[in-house]
């Protein structure tokens, strides 16, 4: 094996956490190693004529956030989500907006189901207020599942809440109550939400632009096999190459990070191994309509009882001025439901998703140009009961020489783009401070 020169920092993982760290440290001797053939992790999209196809992360944070600042520095543009984000489709009824408190009375439910839905919704609303005031969200309602918090529900009402929970890639009996409540807090914030913007051109534009700036300092198809101590440095092994580094920022998903950090920080490795991830399955749909569609003013609709759990209108950002032909949708599901569907072929998955799309919006029949399936076995991290106890082992500079730093969306009770980017930035700032101490710069 060839031992490379000593670098200031090696970053393992090219998702938004690793890319944010590399962006902060770009004026230092930094090397980012990504196992996959592209940067960005679940931030993936393809251009599609005047539109774009999003396959994973699609909601960007508000102006003034870290991701927004990086986006602006790269001369990219985010636009606000103006379409409804809290739609709900049950059986043949599609509610595209309105006060959520009215939903139990506008859906085709029995009296028993209406009462149960209204009571559970009120319970969640009251808990959201406590969530916003909680000083430590890792510990908030972290001792029971979301299913236990909600209590017994009629099957149709339970499926409505399960559909929402799968957005976080966890089932009701897997997701911690605090994480489930936090999910509703995020969605109910509406246009003032932290996640109420889209990137014009598609989510993948951001990692592509970061990669272009980083150039050869960001390598793809470079899986890391091991990290070991070497005096007061760390050695990163990637294939036949060994790279010595003063610091390592581990920004890979927790299941991949755990065995790598074990030789340096065993307690952190144990905590990482206990973090929970769920699957995410999406179908991006290019449409070729030539006139307005009934969902033009809508962004997102929850779809309990269908093959997919969420309908999203990715073309809504361009629905200003004269209505242009064509469009872009993303349909997705998560958690165990997604994992089970992944056993099917792409053709079967697309066929089932499109059949439910046509049942929901018959106007889409004969208007499908292309449907592309994307599978994310580690779709997102979510907090399960007891997650709060793992936090202390993950924080700060780790290892005997305090030169191993963790970054990733698992630092939040719900994995989001901004949460991941913030942890990458925090790790980079610690590294930069240590470099300045040593060099007195």
Q: Are the beta carbons of 88 and 105 closer than 8 angstroms? A: no
Residue reference for tokens 């500079």: 397
- Which residue's structure tokens are 């031992």? 3
* Contacts of 227 by beta carbon, 8 Å cutoff, 6+ apart: 12, 234, 235, 236, 237, 248, 250, 260, 261, 263, 264, 404
- CA 145, CA 160: separation in Å to the nearest integer? 16
**Is 35 a known ligand-binding residue?**
yes
Number of neighbours of residue 398 by Cβ within 10 angstroms? 22
Q: Is 332 annotated to bind ligand?
A: yes
Q: Is 174 annotated as belonging to a binding site?
A: no
CA dihedral 331, 337, 338, 339 (to 10 degrees): -170
Pick out the residues of the known binding site for FAD. 34-35, 224
Pick out the residues of the known binding site. 34-35, 224, 332
Pick out the residues of the known binding site for substrate. 332
């Amino acid at each position: 094996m060839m031992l490379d020169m000593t670098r200031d920092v090696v970053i393992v993982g090219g998702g938004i956490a690793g890319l944010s760290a590399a962006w902060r440290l770009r004026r230092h001797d930094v090397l980012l190693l990504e196992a996959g053939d592209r940067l960005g992790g679940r931030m993936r999209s393809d251009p599609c004529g005047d539109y774009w196809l999003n396959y994973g992360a699609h909601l960007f944070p508000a102006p003034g956030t870290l991701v927004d600042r990086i986006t602006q520095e790269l001369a990219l543009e985010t636009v606000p989500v103006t379409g409804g984000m809290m739609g709900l489709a049950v059986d043949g009824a599609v509610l595209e907006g309105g006060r959520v408190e009215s939903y139990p009375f506008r859906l085709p439910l029995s009296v028993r189901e209406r009462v149960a839905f209204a009571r559970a919704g009120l319970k969640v609303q009251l808990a959201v207020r406590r969530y916003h005031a909680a000083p430590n969200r890792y510990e908030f309602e972290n001792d029971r599942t979301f299913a236990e918090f909600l209590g017994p529900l009629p099957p149709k009402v339970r499926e409505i809440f399960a559909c929402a929970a799968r957005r976080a890639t966890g089932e009701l009996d897997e997701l911690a109550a605090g994480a489930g409540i936090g999910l509703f807090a995020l969605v109910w914030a509406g246009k003032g939400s932290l996640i109420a913007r889209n990137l014009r051109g598609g989510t993948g534009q951001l990692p592509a632009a970061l990669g272009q700036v980083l150039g050869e300092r960001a390598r793809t198809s470079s899986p890391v096999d091991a990290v070991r101590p070497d005096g007061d440095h760390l050695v990163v092994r990637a294939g036949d190459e060994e790279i010595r580094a003063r610091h390592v920022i581990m920004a890979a998903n927790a299941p991949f990070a755990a065995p790598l950090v074990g030789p340096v920080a065993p307690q952190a490795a144990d905590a990482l191994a206990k973090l929970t991830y769920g699957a995410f399955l999406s179908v991006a749909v290019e449409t070729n309509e030539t006139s307005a569609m009934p969902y033009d003013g809508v962004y997102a609709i929850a779809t309990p009882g269908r093959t997919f759990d969420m309908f999203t209108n990715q073309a809504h950002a361009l629905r200003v001025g004269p209505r242009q032909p064509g469009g872009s949708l993303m349909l997705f599901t998560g958690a165990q439901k997604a994992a089970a569907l992944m056993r099917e072929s792409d053709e079967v998955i697309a066929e089932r998703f499109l059949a439910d799309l046509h049942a929901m919006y018959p106007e889409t029949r004969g208007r499908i140009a292309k449907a592309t399936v994307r599978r994310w076995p580690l779709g997102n991290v979510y907090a399960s009961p007891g997650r709060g106890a793992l936090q202390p082992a993950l924080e700060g500079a780790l290892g005997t020489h305090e030169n191993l730093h963790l970054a990733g969306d698992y630092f939040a009770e719900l994995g989001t783009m901004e949460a991941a980017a913030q942890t990458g930035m925090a790790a980079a700032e610690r590294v930069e401070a240590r470099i300045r101490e040593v060099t007195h710069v």
